[in-house]
Amino acid sequence: MLVELQRMAAELSAIERYMLMLLYASGGRVRGRLWLQKEMYALSRAFEDLREELDFEAYSYGPFSEALEESRDMMENSGLIREVERKVELTDAGARLAEFVWRQASDREREIVKGVAEFMGSLDQDELLLYTYVTYGMAERSERRDVMKRRVSIALRMLREGKVSVGLAAKLAGMPITEFVKEAVKVGIKPFEAEEAEDGDGNVEEN
């Protein structure tokens, strides 16, 4: 079994490797293809080997990579992942390989992948799109630009739920932090009590 896992891991592309790590860090599944695309895009900003294999373009819902879709299809055909009720999840065979890859990864890789998985995986669709558009751009061809019109209310909700810091919430809302704090207080949010999220807020260092 170990020899077989070593062989399979050695043959993985960077896309496949990080996808397995992301799914492993997400408890075995991500919420859907949209989350997979956006979380892998965030990871590509941190890992050069992944960025070299992925070619993201502005698309209907922000950054989209055809190469990622092709890799997802191939991994599904190989029996490593599957789609269940729109969620993308590891099969038993995929989980064994993902755990092996995770254990072989560097501390930096695990830390970044875990941070992205936990933060972006906690967001609903509107929150995910707003965070992606504001942080990374590529909203010009989006069919969901209405999200930007509701950015203040979405950012306030994210702050109330402890998903983001006051600073990031203000950035998502497109407001100076002092003005955003006033808005938060108006709707009954005590900003600095709500700010239990880590300062990182899912941001990844670019490599």
Cα separation, 54 vs 146, in Å, equals 27
Residue 102 lies inside a defined structural domain of this protein: yes
Average pLDDT over every residue of 105-121: 98
pLDDT tier for residue 199 given thresholds of 50, 70 and 90: very low
Q: What is the pTM of this model?
A: 0.88
Residue 134 lies inside a defined structural domain of this protein: no
Strands (E), the chain: 29-30, 56-59, 62-65, 81-84, 87-90
Cα separation, 159 vs 168, in Å, equals 9
Residue 157 lies inside a defined structural domain of this protein: no
pLDDT at residue 128 greater than cutoff 90: yes
pLDDT per residue as tens digits for the range 91-107: 999 999 999 999 999 99
pLDDT tier for residue 140 given thresholds of 50, 70 and 90: low
Report the Cα 157 to chain-centroid distance in Å: 19
pLDDT at residue 168 greater than cutoff 60: yes
Give the domain CATH number at 38. Answer: 1.10.10
pLDDT at residue 204 greater than cutoff 70: no
Q: How many domains does the chain have?
A: 1
pLDDT tier for residue 164 given thresholds of 50, 70 and 90: very high
CB 31 within 8 A of CB 87: yes
Residue 94 lies inside a defined structural domain of this protein: yes
Residue 169 lies inside a defined structural domain of this protein: no
Residue 194 lies inside a defined structural domain of this protein: no
pLDDT tier for residue 142 given thresholds of 50, 70 and 90: low
Q: List the one residue out of 8, 182, 186 whose CA is nearest residue 93.
A: 8
Residue 142 lies inside a defined structural domain of this protein: no
The boundaries of the domain holding residue 34 are 2-123
Residue 187 lies inside a defined structural domain of this protein: no
